[in-house]
A and B are shown apart, each in its own frame.
Chain A
Amino acid sequence: MKRTEQQAPDFDAIVVGSGMSGGWSAKELAERGLKVLVLERGPEIIPERDYTDRIPPWERPNLDRIPQDEIAEHYPTQYGGVAYAIKETTKHFWVKDDEHPYETAEGTSYDWLRGYHTGGRSIMWSRQAYRLGPQDFEANLQEGVGVDWPVRYNDIAPWYDHVERFAGIAGNTDGLPQLPDGVFQPAFDLTCAEEDFKTRVEAAFPGRNVIAARIAHLTDATPEQRALGRRNCQSRNRCEHGCIFRAYFSSLNATLPAARVTGNLTMVHNAIVRSLDYDEETRRVTGVRVIDAETREGRTYTARVVFLNASTIASAMILLQSASEAFPNGLANRSDQVGRNLMDHISGAGASGFITGFDDKTVFGRRPSGGIYIPRYANVTENDKPYRRGFGFQGGASPAAGTNGQTPGIGRAFKEAHRAPGPWRVSIGAFGEQLPDPDNRVTLHPSRRDQWGNPVAVMNVTYGENERIMLEEARTDAIAMLEAAGCTDIRSGEVNLTKPGNRIHEMGSARMGRDPATSVLNGWCQAHDVDNLFVTDGSFMASAACQNPSLTYMAFSARAANYAADLIADGTL
């Protein structure tokens, strides 16, 4: 469909993707008075109908297990990656692998773990929410790795405040420069065993800290949050089933409802993006071509500005699919960096053990996520490391009673032993930083297409020496900290480096930088080559840091959206 110059665009802004970052782009743009269209490739999730958090254990079919043949047919990768979260009553939040294929380069592997529906992976995320620190924005420059971030911590700090205030993050003020404090609601307090672990570890390792995890659950809902129908966390720990209290942050629970309140939001589901239209004369993106997932019908929506929030792999693919005469290597890809520098976090190193002395204590309620967090100390407070960057540990200590029958005894004694909380077990696992490498990339398959006619992704990602050495050291450190805490029966398997993508923190495929020749986006997440194109999902990340990244995507999305609104207001766009 060709439109004349005179015709007004359908919308002020189109946001591609309704997940963690897309919800923020939509909310901020809509609150600035812009007419916003959100395109979601999957079906609509209606909380009252689709959340399964209220189903009690005895109504979950087959212990909530998905039939094994069904896993083999539809979920081999998704289940293999996150078996703990894919249940009979949550499988509708995850893609069927056979319907959404991708390939990996020979000798490599990749877990692309996804959900296509309203809210995307913000429904299933683990809700750990940390700021990057000043060191994270400076490391590339100092080490000559990748490209320098065109942004420093002070540029983004006010936007972290902004998103934390709205999203609701439970955490403590800890005063750590490498993990800056923010706008917090009351933390989920440490268990007595965690307090003991903290005291002993901090005494034995002066450069290390054990803090309460910072997590995106309401503990003191603000009037703004309550007005959106959000309530405090009820300590049910049913989050991966959705939350009818809307207590944890997701697009569906928070940003999309806020965008809707403005009256400026239009949302279209089942709209799979084929490509972006680019006008050579104006050097602008003019519209977004979509295919209806169900009818296969093609449509084009036009707008003044386009935000890509499709997730880092999908956004890179959309740019590559939008090649034209002006951009033969993909839209906004004069730098040839689109699809490159694909990063994730690395795990597979940790330790667990038992903490004694708390047999007369237990907990009440089920903490929804987190427990303890050990912020990065490597190359921050300890500078004797044989690797670059560092890692944080996530973990916790709680009574270890379970109902899986793997304890001795029969009869009344066995049955009633389950009434006791069990011994206190502590466990910590590392999340480490992967360095950017332009050879780690996603490309479009030259010939294979999915059922909608879009090219299939080909992942080619391998980890390097730094990642391997770092995790070995993380394991050694984990054991040493559990020993220092007086743990018994300490267990730590050999390092088992997670597959690329497995942490579901993929990022970096359209990095921001100062030089248009070596980066795709500027410091505002705006394409160097196309003024009215923004990419604010994980694609923009110039380095991975080691903190869970969602909060950073939120902050950069909000900042970019307000920048774009400024440009529209002053007539630049």
Chain B
Amino acid sequence: MISRRDAIKSLIISVGGTSLLSACGGQVSLGSITPGSTRRFYSEREMALVSRVSDLLIPRTETPGAIDVGVPQFLDQLMTEWANSETQAEHRAGLALLDARLGSEAGGDFLDVSDAVAERALTMVDREAFGGSPVDGYRNLKGLISQAYFATEAGALDELKWVATPGRWEPCVDLT
């Protein structure tokens, strides 16, 4: 297994041709993502930023992480196929502000700093965004990453234990 930082690096390299997913050894779980698909909306830098944030928010644990299941590519597709030009512009502006903000929090280019520094920077931004003062672009991005991840087989089945056909309703079950 390669480190997360290596995975991100390989991702940056992969943009434009090589499959991210083969590079990081993960599996594709979002049905509509094809391995090797190229980005259509994000710039190289935006793709790398979204990837690093995705990886820090939902890392690989005992279950696949956001990178393993192709969340950044999914968001690229979402922005291409779902978003209108206004939403695209807002999303892009939000990423730029977030990029700058994370950079100043990290004391350098957010994409170049170590995992530990990046994690600290994102923790600070997250804390602020949920502490009452808005951080442009962050909560929106976190929302999209989270929704995309938990809609995958890994997110839904492994993490949420989602059951397609429960078959019954039990209104009050003891948590174990």
Contact = CB atoms under 8 A, between A and B. Distances in A.
Interface of A: 54, 56-63, 65-69, 72, 188-192, 194-195, 233-236, 359-367, 403-412, 414-416, 418-421
Interface string B15-43: 00000000000000111100000000000
Interface stretch (B92-100, B106-114, B155-163): B155-163
B175 interface: yes
Contacts of A69: 84
A404 B122 contact: no
Given A58-B153, A415-B61, A406 B143 contact: yes
Nearest to A62: B82
B172 A361 contact: yes
Q: What 4 A-B pairs come out closest when comparing CB atoms?
A: A405-B146, A408-B130, A365-B166, A403-B150
B171 A404 contact: no
A396 to B, nearest CB: 10
B4 to A, nearest CB: 11
21 contacts: A59-B32, A62-B78, A67-B82, A67-B84, A194-B171, A363-B171, A363-B173, A365-B168, A365-B170, A367-B171, A403-B150, A403-B151, A405-B142, A406-B143, A408-B127, A410-B56, A412-B61, A415-B65, A415-B159, A416-B159, A418-B150
Contacts of A410: 56-57, 119, 122-123, 126
Contacts of A195: 172
A191 B147 contact: no
A52 B34 CA distance: 23
A419 B164 contact: no
Interface in B21-80: 29-32, 56-59, 61, 65, 77-78
A363 B164 contact: no
B84 A68 contact: yes
B168 A364 contact: yes
A235 B148 contact: no
Contacts of A66: 82
B165 A72 contact: no
A251 B152 CA distance: 34
B162 to A, nearest CB: 7
Nearest to A192: B172
A58 B151 contact: yes
B117 interface: no
Contacts of A418: 150, 159-160
B166 to A, nearest CB: 4
Contacts, number: 152
Nearest to A366: B166
Interface residues of B, number: 55
Contacts of B173: 361-364
B58 A415 contact: yes
Nearest to B83: A68
Contacts of A233: 169
Given A403-B160, A409-B126, A188 B147 contact: no
Given A67-B83, A236-B165, 20 more contacts: A58-B153, A61-B32, A63-B148, A68-B84, A189-B171, A191-B172, A235-B169, A362-B173, A363-B171, A364-B168, A365-B167, A366-B166, A366-B169, A407-B130, A412-B59, A415-B57, A415-B65, A415-B159, A416-B159, A418-B159
Nearest to B78: A62
Contact of B151 (A63, A67, A366, A367): A63
B175 A362 contact: yes
Which of A60, A418, A419 lies at the interface centre, i.e. has the most chain B CB atoms within 10 A of its CB? Answer: A418
B171 A419 contact: no
A58 B156 contact: yes
A418 B164 CA distance: 18
Which of A60, A234, A411 lies at the interface centre, i.e. has the most chain B CB atoms within 10 A of its CB? Answer: A411
Given A68-B83, A365-B168, A404 B147 contact: yes
A558 to B, nearest CB: 29
Nearest to B131: A408
Contacts of B170: 363-365
Interface string B119-145: 100110011011000000001001111
A234 B165 contact: yes
Contacts of B151: 57-58, 60, 63, 403
A89 B77 CA distance: 17
A365 B167 CA distance: 7
Nearest to B170: A364
A366 B165 CA distance: 9
Contacts of B143: 404-406
A498 B1 CA distance: 55
Contacts of A68: 82-84, 87
Nearest to B156: A57
B147 A403 contact: yes
Contacts of A58: 29-31, 151-153, 156
Contacts of B169: 188-189, 233, 235, 363-367
B159 A62 contact: no
A190 B148 CA distance: 31
A405 B56 CA distance: 14
A411 B119 contact: yes
B172 A59 contact: no
A231 B144 CA distance: 36
Contacts of A192: 171-172
A403 B168 contact: no
A131 B104 CA distance: 63
A270 B153 CA distance: 40
B83 to A, nearest CB: 6
Given A58-B29, A418-B160, A411 B172 contact: no
Nearest to A237: B166
Which of B81, B129, B165 lies at the interface centre, i.e. has the most chain A CB atoms within 10 A of its CB? Answer: B165
A362 B160 CA distance: 13
Contacts of B81: 61-62, 67
B150 A65 contact: no
B32 A72 contact: no
Contacts of B166: 234-236, 364-366
Contact of B171 (A62, A63, A191): A191
B172 A363 contact: yes
Given A58-B29, A189-B169, A405 B175 contact: no
Nearest to A67: B82
Nearest to B127: A408
A57 B162 contact: yes
A407 B147 CA distance: 12
Contacts of B142: 405-406
Nearest to A361: B172
A405 B153 CA distance: 18
